[in-house]
Chain A
Amino acid sequence: MKPTPIKPTPIRPGSALAAEFWEQGRSASCPVINIHAHPGPVYSGYMPNCRPADMVRELRKVGGRLMCVAPHSALFAPEIGNAEAESIVEEFPQEIRAYMTINPQYPELMLRDLAGFDKKRHIYVGFKLLPDYHRVRLSDRRYQAVFEFADERGLPVISHTYANSPYNGEAEVEKVVARYSGLKFIMAHCLKANWRAAAAIARQYPHAYLDLTAVSGQWGAVDYLCTHAGSEKMLFGTDSPWYGLHQAIGQLLSADITDDDIHNILHRNAERLLNLTDSEG
């Protein structure tokens, strides 16, 4: 009897992981953790999936376990601040945790929020910084309180990072990670597109991590970061509802790295970073 020909898996032939994502949209062995998302509408464009319920539905489609969010309202509307983040987590406690967004243009609001952080650990996993948009350099003294707070507690701080930016470019990132070794610094967008500097910082500092949001679409960037920083330092993020989860996973599956690397990126590293146990959501 002739053997049945094995149907090649699109995108990534021979990969059981890719086969599962292709056929079912999810993988039982790969509970995706999206560490970078922004619920809610935003000034710059129309987003059909921006409601938290839509985002949770999309997360479930990919077999997602958790997403860590900073709502657009927290990023851009200081008078709303982190209030929406808290209500979203309370609505979806299984699938969503929040970052406390810090806008150092309003130090009094920042200090008020920081004072309440420890009582809200069921809501917040760490802090979100957006220096390019808030127009404050990472090394500015106005950020000092949040870095010290996170450093003492070993908390994640995820910051927008872009190459050559005076606010969150290579030099500013390095100043922070060199000074604060107790916190976990997540470079959102991996200093796009200075992959060399991003990889070097992640390799040099054990507490520096790479968030692939808007990076995995650049074919070859993931391979480079994996080779030069290691997949143990890389985290999966999408900026949802900007970018879709299947799109981002598909780009990751296109990289010339191993399935084991992809597991590290899609969930294992975030599980460690966020101290998630098997039973925790």
Chain B
Amino acid sequence: MRFFDVNCFIGLPTVAIQKPVKTAGELLERMDRAGIEKALVWHVCQRDYAVAEGNRLLAEAIAPHKDCLTGCWAVLPNQWGELPPPQEFCEQMVKANVKALRVFPGMHNFLLRQETLGPMLEVMVKRRIPLILPITGEVGWPAAFDLLRTYPKLRCILSNVNTCGTERQYAPLLAGYSHVYLEMSEFILDGGIEAVTARFGAEKLLFGTGFPRRGHGGAMLALQHAAISAAEKAAIAAGNLETLLNWE
């Protein structure tokens, strides 16, 4: 099975984690050891330091590794011109091999809604650029629901969805919006892969590890032995994400 990890990061977080991975090279070494072929990666400076600087650091880090590392930049409301205008920003993404965006509205002090990010979100809908929503500690469920009600065609990946009582939160979004996906780095509910596949379809799940906050092996072994078909496993492991990132 080929694995394409939708959720991993590099860099040293302000608040240390047990085993951070500072560079793209270190990340690739651990991916190679675990048997993970490709990853969609972000840089922790995008969250902890400053978005534009973090985006630049990520682009530099992944540039030599285009075959296996794809970038995920962070985005901000642009009323103060902190980032280039949306179209220009998207062109920079293409040049830097960045195929998805993520937001940190908690840490970065903004409301995730039309009035703040509207122009960027409209471009993302038009160009089919996926937006990763880290739910736990950042976006929260009410903002995710409101965002999708306003932008029902936005490609959204629900990320950092932990298993403690979130099933009733994400299920309406998977059921109600055809472009909403769930990444499984913290979605480790016993029988969860099978349950989501049966009720919403394997196309809704994306393999993710949360590395290096979490290890690679949990999501890998859970998917390897999930009671679903080989085709469904392959789609979750890599195929769904490859399709989603093919928006250029």
Binding site for B on A (CB under 8 A): 8-13, 21-22, 25, 44-49, 54-55, 58, 61, 195, 216-221, 223-224, 238, 240-255
Contact = CB atoms under 8 A, between A and B. Distances in A.
Contact of B221 (A46, A55, A246): A246
Sorted nearest first, the 7 A-B pairs with minimum C-beta distance are: A220-B18, A250-B221, A254-B215, A10-B35, A254-B217, A220-B19, A250-B217
A247 B191 contact: no
B45 interface: no
Given A219-B213, A242-B163, A250 B219 contact: yes
**Which of B34, B163, B195, B218 has the most CB atoms of chain A within a 10 A radius of its CB?**
B218
A246 B225 contact: yes
B44 interface: no
A46 B165 CA distance: 7
A22 B35 CA distance: 12
A254 B35 contact: no
A246 B165 contact: no
A54 B191 contact: yes
Interface of B: 17-19, 33-35, 163-168, 171, 186, 188-192, 194-195, 211-222, 224-225
Contacts of B191: 47-49, 54, 58, 241, 244
Contacts, number: 128
Contacts of A61: 225
Nearest to B171: A46
B154 to A, nearest CB: 26
A73 to B, nearest CB: 17
Contacts of A22: 221, 224
A237 to B, nearest CB: 13
Given A217-B214, A220-B17, A49 B35 contact: no
Contact of A241 (B168, B190, B216, B225): B190
Contact of A45 (B167, B211, B217): B167
Given A44-B165, A220-B18, A254 B216 contact: yes
B33 A13 contact: yes
A85 B173 CA distance: 36
